[in-house]
């Protein structure tokens, strides 16, 4: 439903009738309606036109106006993205302007998570505090464990994860106060910290094995391996090669622009529910074979620790808050910060070496992306 705010925001770019001419230095699209013979000037901003501008194209006053039709969102921009830039054809993935190759080599997953949420890599003090906050929130309520135990023995782990994340909203009723920056921060921490616990519990349930509680002496990825594979040993010691490989895998999957699950979260989130309900919608989208088929195929070929196949060699983990070798410099694209964190009010821009690529729109992709 259109609101006054929507109208105010769309007014500056509204289509107007004209004679096909437009002022210099202003990009417009001239559209002639052959039904009426009228010509409309529609502003072009960052290589896009606003769909609502076409509503001004009418046959008469009683006409609702022209609408655009794009059922698969193949050519529809939904928002500006300051978080991720993805070009699958050319193998480019950037988080906040940092190439994924540098992040995978020099950063840990929690450093990358901090970068995605707050827009900057953490300092040593910020990283220590961030890791502490994540670590102390890894446990879930015992009722959640009982809730997961109610699923069939052969329940799909994704279905269990979907239900468990949605159930978290009932354990944190304050989570629906999404206009409070501090509240948003704590829910973000809870989501990041508890997701490995819920995923591991779902996996163990499917294997018919008892759940393993988090071990807060371990790092994020090592703790996940502990909850997945610990058996009778008193203390699980993860293989450092496998732990690092998993950390890199988490980095690669941390964010993939405006894909199907992201669109689902944004669509549900626009109704302002608690974040757990919105994330559950994203998990439901990821559950679909057209969205997660590649991930599912990869999952079937992975091997448990102790397998004869050696894990891939990776570079050693950087210590503390080691930053990428190339900092946010003039090579970064012009980006807008859109995160919902309390630090999202400031706008950071940088100059691009490729003028045609300075402004990017995050498009909704097909589910198969």
pLDDT digits (tens, 9 = 90+) for 263-274: 999 999 999 999
Provide, rounded to the nearest whole percent, the portion of the chain with pLDDT above 90: 63
The CATH number given to whatever domain includes residue 148 is: 1.10.580.10
Instruction: Work out how many domains the chain is built from and give that number.
Output: 2
- Banded pLDDT at 78 (limits 50, 70, 90): confident
Domain end residue (candidates: 251, 278, 301): 301
In a domain, 327, yes or no: no
Specify whether 152 is located in the same domain as 9. no
Specify whether 136 is located in the same domain as 209. yes
| Per-residue pLDDT tens over the stretch 303-356 | 555 555 544 444 333 333 333 333 333 333 333 333 333 333 333 333 333 333
Specify whether 35 is located in the same domain as 170. no
Region of poorest pLDDT, from 67-76, 119-128, 141-150, 279-288 = 67-76
Specify whether 30 is located in the same domain as 164. no
- Mean pLDDT (the chain) is 79
Specify whether 247 is located in the same domain as 152. yes
In a domain, 236, yes or no: yes
Domain end residue (candidates: 266, 301, 336): 301
| Per-residue pLDDT tens over the stretch 169-184 | 999 999 999 999 999 9
**Dist CA 216 CA 344 (whole Å):** 30
What pLDDT is recorded for position 353?
Answer: 35
Region of poorest pLDDT, from 65-79, 278-292, 322-336 = 322-336
Average pLDDT over residues 296-303: 52
Range of the domain at 47: 4-56
In a domain, 348, yes or no: no
The residues, any chain, with a CB within 8 Å of residue 22's CB and separated by 6 or more, are: 28, 30, 41
CB-based contact 265:154 (threshold 8 Å): no
Average pLDDT over residues 94-104: 96
In a domain, 186, yes or no: yes
pLDDT > 50? residue 360:
no
In a domain, 15, yes or no: yes
The residues, any chain, with a CB within 8 Å of residue 151's CB and separated by 6 or more, are: 159, 160, 163, 205
In a domain, 48, yes or no: yes
pTM value? 0.73
**Dist CA 321 CA 159 (whole Å):** 36
């Amino acid at each position: 439903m259109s609101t006054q705010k929507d109208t105010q925001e769309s007014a500056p770019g509204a289509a107007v009738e004209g004679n096909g001419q437009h002022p210099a230095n202003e990009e417009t699209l001239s559209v002639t309606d052959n039904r009426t013979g009228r010509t409309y000037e529609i502003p072009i901003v960052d290589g896009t036109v606003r769909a609502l501008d076409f509503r001004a194209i009418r046959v008469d006053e009683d006409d609702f106006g022209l609408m655009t039709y794009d059922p698969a969102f193949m050519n529809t921009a939904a928002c500006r993205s300051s978080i991720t830039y993805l070009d699958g054809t050319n193998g480019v993935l950037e988080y906040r302007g940092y190439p994924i190759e540098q992040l995978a080599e020099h950063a840990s997953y929690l450093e990358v998570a901090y970068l995605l949420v707050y827009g900057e890599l953490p300092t040593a003090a910020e990283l220590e505090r961030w890791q502490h906050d994540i670590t102390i929130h890894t446990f879930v309520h015992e009722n959640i464990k009982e809730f997961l135990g109610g699923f069939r023995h052969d329940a799909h782990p994704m279905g269990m994860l979907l239900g468990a994340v949605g159930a978290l909203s009932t354990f944190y009723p304050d989570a629906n106060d999404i206009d409070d920056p501090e509240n948003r921060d704590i829910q973000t921490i809870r989501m990041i910290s508890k997701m490995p616990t819920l995923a591991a519990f779902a996996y163990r349930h499917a294997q018919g094995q008892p759940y393993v509680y988090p071990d807060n002496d371990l790092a994020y990825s090592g703790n996940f391996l502990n909850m997945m594979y610990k058996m009778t040993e008193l203390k699980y010691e993860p293989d450092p090669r496998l732990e690092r490989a998993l950390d890199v895998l988490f980095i690669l999957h941390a964010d993939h622009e405006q894909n199907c699950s992201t669109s689902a979260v944004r669509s549900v989130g626009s109704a302002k529910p608690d974040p757990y309900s919105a994330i559950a919608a994203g998990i439901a989208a990821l559950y679909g074979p057209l969205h997660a088929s590649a991930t599912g195929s990869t999952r079937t070929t992975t091997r448990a620790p102790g397998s004869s196949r050696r894990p891939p060699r990776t570079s050693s983990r950087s210590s503390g808050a080691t930053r990428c070798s190339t900092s946010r410099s003039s090579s970064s694209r012009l980006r807008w910060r859109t995160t919902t964190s309390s630090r999202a009010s400031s706008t950071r821009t940088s100059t691009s070496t490729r003028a045609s690529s300075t402004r990017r729109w995050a498009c909704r992709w097909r589910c198969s992306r």
